[in-house]
């Protein structure tokens, strides 16, 4: 991970300091290479050595470089101490950190280097023990995870990055080529601008690394029951930029897409993009919402998302039937929507989508049959426009209950547990004199699952396992009822209704029954519940209380 230089290197470092004062360009005379991930390292280090740069290294990295015929000096030679304690102690030494931290233009620092035989280290090539990969392995033990917490590596990264005026710190193999280009262009040195960029990336790495360790240790505490609250006293977010986006929600807003480190649940961030235009900010938001709704179901299911709300959803025996029924829930709104499917998208689904005047912005599914991809990516109008994302198989059980949802505020953030609760018939209470039929139960429970993913105030109308009308985001619940009924039209006759929260007055249920709604499901809990129940009893319409609210703001 880090090695000290010799007195001769120290003298060279002092000489380089004069150049540094004038040009901020410090030539690279010695590099310390310590890598867990050795991808691309052999050719890179060979090129460094061919430039006359002395190579210091440790353990397995040194062995790999020697095997490749590259001259390497062991860190233990420089420090005078062997690697010990199973490699836990090897670079935590003044001759390593002095070589990284010494200011080459400070007379006191260079004098200390000469006095103690500390040689300058001008380039640190490093990555860290694979902690995240270790904890992602099934059945990993606490002991194995702890052993993969790197100590010397982050310490060297911080030392080198702090002294980036004189030391380049390379933590990303993608930068190997850029380092060689700079050395060639600048006659053996690295520009201060480049070293500043490398230092930023280095501290970003250690921040992500420490955040991953902190979060894992907290989860371990929760699992033992020693912590009652799922919310840690402090939280750090670790994520890497996937790409810059063309713009944000609106063209005047800049935006970028980040992937959270260590994410294991099937999601948009981990999905494989099979084709189509670059994903936009709004595409990603809608795809995430669509997939969240699809994860509620363990059967052939499709949903149609528009402006972050489901306008259609259905379950059926086959995937193409579910897709057709979901689309027909609100065919007008479905144009230009985003879709999610719980089964692979086959050719029959693709043929349905490209027929007529249909078009969608993006589709996420466990996978896509080759014939479906061919059709979707060659059909005129669809062609290269529609985005196809294969996320891998998932079920409701694949959702991680220990993940927390974050909502940013200006100057702060909110954390909450995910809303993974769903209504069950056994937990519901019939509060009217009339009992729902079996078909009504099926429709209400289906609508309730969809309603969890509708912006509040949310009203969802269904016939069986098909949504026929959605009222979303209205300031009053009765307005959401009116909107859902208007979307349903004649299909409201005999349908069932699910509400995400209680009806504060009887007006909403009265309006619904006037248009033919035949059964209603809601959480209950209003001070006027008795009035609402009485309105249903007056019509002989069954109503069910769930005791479970699903606000989504």
Taken in order 158, 162, 167, 173, is the CA torsion positive or negative?
positive
Task: To the nearest 10°, report the CA torsion of 353, 354, 355, 356.
Answer: 90
| DSSP codes joined into one string, 430-486 | E-SSSPPPHHHHHHHHHHHHHHTTSPSS-EEEEETTEEEEEE-S-SSHHHHHHHHHH
Q: Is 487 a catalytic residue?
A: no
* Separation CA 459–CA 478 (nearest Å): 9
Given 162, 201, 347, 379, the catalytic residue: 162
500, 525 Cβ separation under 8 angstroms: no
Burial (CB < 10 A; 0-12, 13-18, 19+), residue 407, is exposed
CB atoms within 10 A of CB 97: 22
Instruction: Quickly list H helices, 52-151.
Output: 59-67, 75-79, 94-101, 107-116, 131-135, 142-147
* Separation CA 504–CA 484 (nearest Å): 18
Q: Is 162 a catalytic residue?
A: yes
Taken in order 77, 82, 87, 89, is the CA torsion positive or negative?
negative
* Separation CA 336–CA 339 (nearest Å): 10
HSE value, Cβ hemisphere, 13 Å, CA-based, for 473: 9
Given 277, 307, 347, 379, the catalytic residue: 307
In DSSP terms, 527 is beta-bridged to none
* Separation CA 339–CA 360 (nearest Å): 7
Tally DSSP H helices, then E strands, for the chain.
20, 23
Active-site positions read 162, 307
């Amino acid at each position: 991970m880090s090695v000290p230089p010799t007195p001769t290197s120290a003298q060279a470092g002092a000489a380089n300091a004069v150049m540094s004062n004038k040009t901020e360009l410090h030539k690279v005379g010695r590099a310390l290479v310590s890598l867990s991930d050795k991808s691309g390292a052999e050719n890179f280090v060979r090129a460094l050595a061919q430039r006359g740069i002395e190579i210091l290294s440790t353990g397995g990295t040194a062995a790999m470089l020697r095997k490749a015929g590259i001259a390497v000096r062991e860190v233990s030679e420089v420090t005078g101490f062997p690697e010990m304690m199973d490699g836990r102690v090897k670079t935590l030494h003044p001759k390593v950190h002095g070589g990284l931290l010494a200011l080459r233009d400070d007379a006191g620092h260079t004098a200390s280097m000469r006095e103690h035989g500390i040689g300058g280290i001008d380039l640190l090539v490093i990555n860290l023990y694979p902690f995240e990969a270790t904890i992602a392995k099934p059945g990993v033990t606490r002991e194995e995870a702890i052993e993969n917490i790197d100590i010397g590596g982050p310490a060297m990264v911080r030392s080198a990055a702090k002294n980036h005026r004189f030391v380049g710190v390379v933590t990303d193999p993608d930068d190997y080529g850029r380092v060689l280009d700079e050395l060639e262009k600048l006659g053996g040195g690295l520009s201060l601008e480049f070293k500043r960029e490398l230092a930023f990336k280095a501290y970003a790495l250690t921040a992500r690394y420490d955040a991953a360790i902190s979060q894992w240790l907290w989860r371990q505490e929760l699992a033992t029951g020693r912590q009652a609250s799922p919310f840690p006293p402090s939280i750090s977010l670790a994520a890497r930029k996937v790409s810059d986006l063309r713009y944000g929600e609106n063209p005047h807003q800049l935006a970028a897409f980040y992937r959270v480190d260590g994410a294991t649940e099937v999601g948009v961030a981990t999905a494989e993009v099979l084709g189509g235009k670059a994903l936009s900010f709004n595409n990603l938001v809608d795809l995430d919402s669509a997939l969240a709704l699809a994860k509620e179901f363990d059967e052939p299911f499709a949903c149609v998302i528009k402006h972050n709300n489901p306008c259609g959803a259905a379950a059926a025996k086959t995937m193409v039937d579910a897709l057709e029924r979901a689309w027909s829930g609100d065919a007008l709104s479905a144009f230009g929507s985003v879709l999610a499917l719980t089964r692979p998208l086959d050719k029959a689904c693709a043929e349905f989508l490209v027929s007529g005047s249909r078009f969608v912005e993006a589709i996420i599914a466990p996978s896509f049959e080759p014939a479906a991809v061919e059709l979707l990516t060659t059909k005129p109008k669809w062609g290269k426009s529609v985005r196809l994302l294969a996320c891998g198989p998932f079920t409701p059980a694949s959702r991680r209950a220990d993940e927390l949802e974050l909502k940013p505020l200006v100057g702060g953030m909110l954390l909450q547990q995910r809303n993974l609760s769903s209504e069950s018939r056994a937990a519901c209470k019939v509060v009217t004199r009339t009992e729902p039929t079996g078909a009504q139960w099926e429709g209400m429970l289906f609508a309730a699952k969809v309603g969890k993913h509708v912006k509040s105030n949310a009203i969802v109308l269904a016939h069986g396992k098909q949504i026929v009308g959605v009222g979303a985001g209205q300031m009053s619940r009765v307005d959401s009822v009116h909107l859902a009924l208007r979307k349903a039209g004649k299909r409201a006759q005999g349908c069932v209704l699910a509400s995400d929260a209680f009806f504060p007055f009887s007006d909403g249920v009265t309006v619904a029954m006037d248009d033919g709604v035949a059964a209603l499901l809601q959480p209950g809990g209003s001070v006027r519940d008795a009035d609402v129940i009485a309105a249903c009893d007056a019509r002989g319409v069954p109503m069910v209380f769930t005791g479970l609210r699903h606000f989504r703001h």
